[in-house]
Amino acid sequence: MTTITEVKPPTSGGGSKARASTRGERAVEPLIFEKSVPGQRAVDLPPLDVPQAELPDELLGAPVELPEVGQHDVMVHYTHLSNRNFSVDGNFYPLGSCTMKHNPRINEWAAALPGFASLHPLQDDTQIQGALRLLYEVRCFLEEISGLDEVSLQPAAGAHGEYTALKIIRAYFKDHGQPQRHLVLAPDNAHGTNPASCAMCGCDVVQVKTVHGHTDLDDLRRIINEHGADNVAAFMITNPNTAGLFDSKIAEAADIMHDAGAKLYLDGANMNAILGKTRPGDFGADIMHFNTHKTFSTPHGCGGPGAGPIAVRNELAPYLPIPQVVMADDGSFSLDRDRPKTIGKVRSFVGQFGVLVRCWAYISACGPEGLRNIAEKSVLSANYLAVRLRRVYEMPFFDPEHGRFCAHEFVTVPKRLLDKGVSLNDIAKRMIDYDVHPPTMHWPVHDCLMVEPTETESKRTLDRFVAVMLQIAQEIENDPASLAQAPTDAVISRADEVAAARNPQLVWDR
Amino acid sequence: MDYTQITSEQQAAMLDAIGVEDIDDLFSALPEQIRFGELLDLPPARSELELQRELADMAAHNHGPHDMVCFMGGGAYDHFYPVLIDQLISRGEFLTAYTPYQAEASQGSLQAFFEFQTQIARLTALDIANASMYEGATAVAEAVLMAVNSSGKRRVLAASTLNPDYLAVLRTYLDELPLELIELPAVEGRVTADAVRRQMDDDTAAVVVQSPNIWGLIEDWNGCFGAAHEKDKTAAIAVFNPMACALLKKPGECGADIAAGEGQPLGVPLSFGGPYIGLFAATKDFVRRMPGRLIGRTIDADGRPAYCLTLQTREQHIRGAKATSNICTNQGLLALRATMYMTVLGKEGLRETAQQCYHKAHYLAGRIAELDGYGMKFDGPFFNEFCVTCPKDVTEIIEAAKRRRILAGIAPHGRRMGRIGEPNDLLIAVTEKRTKHEMDALVDVLQEVGE
């Protein structure tokens, strides 16, 4: 097998303004409203087979001005739109912290089975034993993977899981006569959802300093002393952390929190790197959330649906949301609502069932060896890319000579390239010309790219990415100004996001 | 099958490039005492063929609208959707993309979301809509939080006729915050403008009324929201069913400032309760207070139309604790589904669907009301769902219907519905999918059991 060592620039060469015109008609896809023809339809219904009932005028609304388009043009419209998207299926998509891995199609097949997809959420437990069994098994899988005692499948997404978990922590402390514990500590490089979730629970956030990407435990102790241990509810941490590093002092952080009578909350966004290698419950976490759309291959769908199951230690279990799926001694399954200390409901019905079906299919396909292999291959791939790129793209937290490897993702702050007069955005937009989706940008530190290749990419794809990044660096050496035109080979040239925010047009008004 | 593609030879070469000998060297930062030395106690890996068998077997242990006739509603409805939608939504370019942070690589989903926002704004007769919330209940809760945060007021009046799950989630969302939630009592299954007026004060942030409500009844949005607007800066929040909006008065036509609802009726499979999609629209006054993603139309460097995420300074990844919401991943693929559904049904098709729901529900209600021992629980107007009182405990009726492969409806007195109503109440929903034949079969069952 050959190793890709170089890539050709997009056909017409870097950054010529003239190229934009070659996009021609491809550059503009009319809105579906602009394709509307009065009286046109894409589908019909059987004739009404009952008499018409009276409908009082005062109840009647005006018709909704929806588009009127024939079936073939509907097909063409959405096919055209799909062609204007990068995706995991079509592109390398190393979006750091999002774990854009392959989405197996057996998962989609499973979720669409009529015996799953058609079920009404309020049906009797006796009619849906298969669905409840599946949910119960996902619960058990996640309890084992987390090393914690009980899982709730109700939260709809990661941030929703955070919210639910914080509510549980608050409820626990209230129930234990410590309602004053309202402070949640989080590293200064925490996911933005962490402080936002705290605010929605009425908690105040205190930032803990990080040094070289790691939480400064002295600062953690200082903050606890300063604010009083009795006021602290929890410390929210991600491991591997948001700088893409394993936190070797995580157990110590847990001890500090437990000594203060507080809880350690694990943001499970980066679980992909530790599946089967270590378990949150084993390193001291009391409560955590999973992101099934990251770790367990449920598709990201242009921004959801996800699912954000949470796992807790026994002492927090009474506060989990209702309903909870349980198994009786006779092997039958049911939804238990009899939890007097529950925080209540955080979502209607049971949860993101269709997403959890996919999650079951994935974990079952992988098995325990497979899950561990996923962690290993994701970490291997990230370190391989980091080593290949670091002489050109500086990496503040990566130093393999001194045993400082990255986990499943790495952060680069390409200072030397930026000093040539290009912006980080220029680099990102140029990647699009090479059919690579840009990594996460400006987070967790300013002017950085965060690259997460995931375990499902081939070595060939990884090598091509290295070649692309080196080629872009070469372009910057040769003609930094040309990158300001990027992307030159996308369906549009650079979108004016400043204008969009200044004068927001959120709906089509013609 | 774990879907990885790196061979052991390639792994050796990659480790060599990194300068380590063993894969575990890369995990050296994990101290020995917290490493998990054994294998996870999970079932062994299975091939796809085995998984297909197991999954099909589990699915076969379920009965529901695929092999029964469904008259269940309560916030989730068995509507028809064309095959075309499944075909389009399965395209990997939609399925496997993520949030469109990079506009130039995401014009397809961005444009579709912009079209979605436009359709939802038109459906609700409001100025703007976002690109989706998780589902109906959290959409309602976020609408209330938006009203509270933008008004600085602290009392929330919510109709007791909201879907019990929406009320439950609202209670969860408000209980840690310094806010007061007051439930407005119902008369004959509906809240009244007088009830709103009695509770209104200068500190009232929002009045929340769902129509059709949990009993299927059409509420007096005009009256209730008129009462809400007697005070300055009190937001009128309409909790809506998008299918009803295709036929009946829309939130914006009745004075709502914010509309939040469950989008499942728009082509989303029942799927045992999720994933669904929360719909969220508002007047333009709220544009910088909206939760969730917003897509804006702009131009590219060559002056052509382009779409991008906009007003991101509202959002958690920029604003942290001061964000308008913590929502990050929303329900993108479901928003695509809903916009495809609205496009495929179109202006006439969606209205015709809603009309059929209305006429069929009224046909069935009329027939049941004629049966001995049965009657309508309330007299008020309804859309496609209604509550009947039965001559005996409804669980017996539901069981009898099951034996005829009919899901007769929901028992509002059951625990899942928060024990509203009486043991003899049966809540019945009718969609355009139900035929006269199926409805007559339900009537037959009710008659037999009622005797």
Residues 180-209 of B with CB under 8 A from A: none
Q: What residues of A are in contact with residue B419 (Cβ under 8 Å)?
A: none
Instruction: Compute the distance between CA of residue B304 and CA of residue A122 in angstroms, rounded to an integer.
Output: 48
**CA B68, B71, B75, B80 torsion: positive or negative?**
positive
- Partner-chain residue, chosen from A85, A118, A163, that has the shortest CB–CB distance to B108: A85
Please identify which residue in the block is written with the tokens 């499948």. Answer: A153
A477 to chain B, closest Cα gap in Å: 24
Q: How far is A116 from chain B (nearest CA, A)?
A: 6
The backbone torsions φ and ψ at residue A491, rounded to the nearest 5 degrees and listed phi first, read: -70, -25
Widest CA span of chain A, in angstroms? Answer: 81
Which of A59, A115, A196 has its CB closest to that of B323? Answer: A196
How far, in Å, CA of A82 to CA of A282, rounded?
44
At residue A25, does pLDDT exceed 80? no
Is residue A291 scored above 50 in pLDDT?
Answer: yes
Write the ipTM.
0.98
Which residues in chain A have their CB less than 8 angstroms from residue B66's CB?
A: 114-115, 117-118
The alpha carbons of chain A give a radius of gyration, in whole angstroms, of 26
d(CA A388, CA A121): 50
The confidence score (pLDDT) of residue A20 equals: 44
Please tell me the predicted confidence (pLDDT) of residue A18: 39
**Cα B338 to Cα B277: distance, rounded to the nearest angstrom:** 9
Chain A within 8 Å of B213 (Cβ-Cβ)?
A: no
Q: In sequence order, what are the beta bridge partners of A265?
A: A236, A287
Residues of A in contact with B114 (CB under 8 A): 31, 506-508
Reported residue count of chain B is 451
- Mean pLDDT of the region A201-215: 92
Measure the CA dihedral B321/B325/B330/B332, to 10°: -110
Q: Helix or strand or coil: residue B308?
A: strand
Q: pLDDT tens for chain B, 451 residues: list them.
A: 999 999 999 999 999 999 999 999 999 999 999 999 999 999 999 999 999 999 999 999 999 999 999 999 999 999 999 999 999 999 999 999 999 999 999 999 999 999 999 999 999 999 999 999 999 999 999 999 999 999 999 999 999 999 999 999 999 999 989 999 999 999 999 999 999 999 999 999 999 999 999 999 999 999 999 999 999 999 999 999 999 999 999 999 999 999 999 999 999 999 999 999 999 999 999 999 999 999 999 999 999 999 999 999 888 888 888 888 899 889 999 999 999 999 999 999 999 999 999 999 999 999 999 999 999 999 999 999 999 999 999 999 999 999 999 999 999 998 888 889 999 999 999 999 999 999 999 999 999 998 8
Per-residue pLDDT tens digits for A108-153: 999 999 999 999 999 999 999 999 999 999 999 999 999 999 999 9
A65: which chain B residues are within 8 Å (Cβ-Cβ)? 122, 347
Q: Is residue A14 over pLDDT 80?
A: no
The distance of B319 to chain A (nearest Cα, Å) reads 7
Q: Please enumerate in sequence order all residues whose Cβ is within 8 A of that of A474, keeping only pairs 6 or more positions apart, or say none.
A: none
Interface contact B306, partner A, CB < 8 A: yes
CA atoms of B228 and A195, how far apart (whole Å): 33
Edge-first strand listing for the sheet containing B385-389:
B375-376, B385-389, B425-429
pLDDT > 70? residue A11: no
State which residue of chain B sits closest to A425, comparing Cα positions.
B102
Whether pLDDT at A500 is above 90:
yes
CA distance A420 to chain B (A): 23
A458, A450 Cβ separation under 8 angstroms: no
Q: How many contacts, defined by CB atoms under 8 Å, are there between A and B?
A: 707
Domains of chain B: 69-80+347-450 (3.90.1150.10), 84-341 (3.40.640.10)
User: Using CB atoms within 10 A of its CB, is residue B6 exposed (0-12), middle (13-18) or buried (19+)?
Assistant: buried
Nearest CB to A367: which of B42, B176, B345?
A: B42
How close, in Å, is residue B179 to chain A by CA atoms? 11
Going by pLDDT thresholds of 50, 70 and 90, the confidence category of residue A74 is very high
User: Smallest Cβ distance to A303: which of B111, B271, B330?
Assistant: B330
Whole-model pTM above 0.90? yes
- Inter-residue contact B115 to A35 (CB < 8 Å): no
CB-based contact A300 B44, cutoff 8 Å: no
Is residue A237 helix, strand or coil? strand
Q: Which of A345, A505, A506 sits opposite B165 (nearest CB)?
A: A345
- Give the one of A203, A301, A400 whose C-beta lies nearest to B18's C-beta: A400
pLDDT above 50: residue A17: no
Give the chain A residue nearest B357 (alpha carbons).
A48
Contact with chain B for residue A20, Cβ under 8 A = yes
- Amino acid identity, position A144: E
For position A133, what pLDDT does the model report?
98
Residue of A nearest to B12 (CA): A380
A439 in B contact zone (CB under 8 Å):
no
Q: With b meaning 16 or more CB within 10 Å and e meaning fewer, what string describes B154-192? A: ebbbbbbbbbbbbbbbbbbbbbbeebebebbebeebbbb
Residues of B in contact with A204 (CB under 8 A): 321
Q: Give the N- to C-terminal CA distance of chain B in Å, as an integer.
A: 58
**pLDDT for the residue numbered B176:** 81
Q: Is B27 on the interface with A (CB under 8 A)?
A: yes
Q: Report the interhelical angle of B332-369 vs B436-450 (nearest 10°).
A: 50
Q: Choose the closest CB to A490 out of B23, B52, B104.
A: B104
Residue A22 confidence (pLDDT): 53
Which member of A79, A167, A368 has the closest CB to residue B40?
Answer: A368
Residue B32 touches chain A, beta carbons under 8 Å: no
Q: Is B18 on the interface with A (CB under 8 A)?
A: yes
CB A121 within 8 A of CB B273: yes
- The secondary structure of A183-201, three-state, reads EEEEECCCCCHHHHHHHHC
Chain A contact set for B2 (CB, 8 A): 365-367, 369-371, 373-374, 455
Q: What domains are there in chain A, each with its CATH number?
A: 109-364 (3.40.640.10), 370-491 (3.90.1150.10)
- Which of B40, B122, B300 minimises the CB distance to A494? B300
B83 touches chain A (CB under 8 A): no
pLDDT at B329: 87
Residue A457: partners with Cβ closer than 8 Å, 6 or more residues away: A92, A381, B5
Chain-chain contact of B307 with A158 (C-beta, under 8 angstroms): no
Q: Is the pLDDT of residue A459 over 90?
A: yes
Nearest to B42 among A141, A300, A384 (CB): A141
Q: Cβ–Cβ of A74/B84 closer than 8 Å?
A: yes
User: Residue B381's closest chain A neighbor by CA?
Assistant: A59
Establish if B403 touches chain A: CB-CB under 8 angstroms.
no
Residues in B touching A295 (Cβ below 8 Å): none
Contact flag B52-A91 (C-beta cutoff 8 Å): no
Please report the pLDDT score of residue A23 as a whole number.
61
Q: Which residue of B has its CA nearest to A125?
A: B62
| Whole-angstrom distance, CA of residue B10 vs CA of residue A459 | 7
Nearest chain B residue to A66 by CA: give it.
B347
Q: For residue range A232-282, what is the model confidence (pLDDT) as tens digits?
A: 999 999 999 989 999 899 999 999 999 999 999 999 999 999 999 999 999
- Which residues of A398-494 form beta strands (DSSP E)? 410-412, 440-441, 449-451
Q: Which residue in A19, A37, A118 has the most chain B C-beta atoms within 10 A of its own C-beta, making it the best mutation to test that interface?
A: A118
Could you tell me what percent of chain A has a pLDDT over 90?
92
pLDDT of residue B103: 97
Q: Is A27's pLDDT higher than 70?
A: yes
**Is the confidence at residue A175, as pLDDT, over 70?**
yes
Alpha-carbon distance A299 to nearest alpha carbon in chain B (angstroms): 5
Cα separation, B205 vs A64, whole angstroms = 30
Please give the pLDDT value at position B150: 95
A297 touches chain B (CB under 8 A): yes
Do residue A202 and residue B313 have CB atoms under 8 angstroms apart? no
- How far apart are the C-alpha atoms of B261 and B275, rounded to whole Å? 14
| Residue A57 touches partner B, C-beta closer than 8 Å | no
Mean pLDDT of chain A: 95
Nearest by CB: A248 against B30, B166, B293: B30
Judging contacts by C-beta atoms under 8 Å, the chain B residues touching residue A492 are 103-104, 107, 300, 302, 304, 306
A-contacting residues in B 148-167 (Cβ below 8 Å): 163, 165-166
**Chain B closest CA to A105's CA: distance in Å?**
10
Q: Is A211 an interface residue toward B (CB < 8 Å)?
A: no
